[in-house]
Structure 1
Amino acid sequence: MSVLVIADHDGTHLRDTTHKTVTAAQGLGGDIDILVYGDRVAAVAAQAAAIAGVRKVITAESAELKQELAEAVSALVAGLAAGYDAVAVPASSAGKNFAPRVAALLDVSLLSDVIEVVDGNTFVRPIYAGNALETVQTSEAKKVLTVRTTAFKAAGEGGSAAIESTPAPAASAKVRFISEEKVVSDRPELGAAKIIVSGGRALGSAEEFQAVLDPLAAKLGAAVGASRAAVDAGYAPNDYQVGQTGKVVAPDLYIAIGISGAIQHLAGMKDSKVIVAINKDPEAPIFSVADYGLVGDYKTVLPELMKALG
């Protein structure tokens, strides 16, 4: 079985979600190639070629691909998929955007949020906000799957794959890029951070959210996250949201401050290696998944924590 892995990168650096998707693809067996799309992606392609177990890296460049327009990416991937038995996509925001289109163009089912590859036809995925797991089996000759990368270890380095290019598809006549707004931060990216400090609606306002979380995150070198309730209340931007309808994370340390622990939020962070919960409600559901729980008012607890951190 041959597998095409779609690279996840920021235009300069390859994200470790790509390495983890390669690990998932290895469970399918056979040769593994990586597609790197965008604009001026030679440096990223070289990083992909160094992943152990990769046979070949394919590059495609165009303005539409750089902007990650789903129409352009899906057309490219579906065209290349003819030469592969499976396409593995990291379950990032971009991946979730174009993967269903790829499956539709190939007229196959999409296997979403795969957390385990049992064999070439059998996969495990979470359902009911992660409270149950289902094992699905497909008889389709070609598979398209999105991989929940937090469930896999990163593939190692040491490879020396060949790099070749392929033409980009023609621009769509119906869709064009207008503009984008990016949140620029010196902090680690939420999806790849080793430490995450998250706040909930209990913080009360956007000003309080920043005043409480930013100093702690700076002290720990952490990313900042938020519950959906905090995002909906306007305390934090959408890209901070952790949960079923936000980002799924699995850092080494997750500190939840003023987060009650609704099932939708737990679905996005309960696989964190160590979870610390600070909440004044002793019955808060967050304590059911926390490794360390502290019942208390964050306004008292956090100054003491900052003082202890020095």
Structure 2
Amino acid sequence: MTGLALLVAGGRGQLGRDLAIQADTAAEVGFTHAPGSAELDVTDREAVDDAVAALASSARDAGLRPVLVNASAYTAVDAAESDVERAFQVNADGPRLLAAACAAQGVPLVHVSTDYVFPGDADRPYEPDDPTGPKSVYGRSKLAGEREVLRGWDRSWVVRTAWVYGAHGGNFVKTMCRLERERETLTVVDDQRGSPTWSADLAAGLLELARRVAVGPGPEQRVLHCTNAGETTWCGFARAVFEELGADPSRVRPCATADFPRPAPRPAYSVLSGAAWRAAGLTPPRPWREALAAAFASGAFAETSA
């Protein structure tokens, strides 16, 4: 197959860095540009237009097929409740500009979204076409971004994911590693369910999808879900981290969401079904517990857990 030219918006974030690392070692990726927000502000129309035009031109000159993966996002869930304008600028206006620029240059777009677009009251894994109903500003802004992408360019795909952790940036696993050292016991909510997802596994899935959309026509279903398989609670997730650290998981004690009120409501249930991902012929990510063990084995948290 013809090689890929990849532009990763949000390339300095947790997921973006894993995407760039994997793309750099993938034989079929001719070149990768993964700018952070300081280099590519997705809310700046001129900057977006220039970046996508440069991607298309460079790919054409090198005989490669261009793809843009949007891993940029405003992810401060609680802060978004009082920073509404900025959340919508990054999570909705930015994707709209990216989709318009991709449409103008004929560049396929893969846009990363979130489980927070759902209301969180289901009793089975959410399918991509289930009714949405976000309860937070963050969730509403991400849903608006999905809609902008899908109506702005017919060669765009939305990939929802959830509970992402990785070697780069701050995340739940790193926090648990720190708290294991600092506290004898800790309490973690046990009434929210989801699927912990290693950013490296998510990056691998996004790159596989990028290969597919580069040669076209891409999966018929344009909204897909990609998480590690299975489900747990935040308390169960924390106990699994303690196990990987060789610590007693019973030191993590369960509590209710009501015991720790936050500015933004969290979904009580946000497990995402991978059925559409599998039906599209894409590789299903491994079980979440296996992925967590692999993440620790890789040394991703060696510095944090030292």
Tell me whether the two structures share a fold, i.e. TM-score over 0.5.
no
Q: When you count helix as a share of all residues, which structure comes out higher?
A: 2
Bigger Cα Rg: 1
Higher relative contact order (CA 8 A, sep 6+): 2
